[in-house]
Amino acid sequence: MIRHTVAFRLRHPRGSAEENSFLAAGKALADIPGVERFEQLSQVSPKNAFHFGYSMEFADQTAYQSYNDHPVHVAYVRDRWVPEVEDFLEIDYVLLD
């Protein structure tokens, strides 16, 4: 199992229509085959400057690579993520034995 997580901050003002549009568009990632346990998260800790997070799981590396290559993901990254995300941290985890 791979747990894919990303914490991010948008270029848009907090609570703006643009922010809401970005997050609404991100929900389409949950429908990509192989995505399990998709969550959109709101950051509440003052310990970092990120505002939101996405978390999802994949059964294996093949499912994760299929997600990365899927046209919905590719379009989201190109059309929304790159122009609208100011900063992010991506971490992919596997369970320790």
Rounded to the nearest integer, the mean pLDDT of the chain is: 97
Q: What is the mean pLDDT of residues 67-75?
A: 98
List the CATH number of the domain containing 12: 3.30.70.100
Own/partner pairs, 71-75, CB within 8 angstroms, 24+ separation: 72/28, 72/29, 72/31, 72/32, 73/29, 73/32
Torsion of CA 89, 33, 94, 61, to 10 degrees: -100
pLDDT tens digit sequence for 40-60: 999 999 999 999 999 999 999
Q: What is the pTM of this model?
A: 0.91
Q: Number of folded domains in the chain? A: 1
Residue 35 buriedness (CB in 10 A; 0-12 / 13-18 / 19+):
buried
Q: Which domain holds residue 12?
A: 2-94
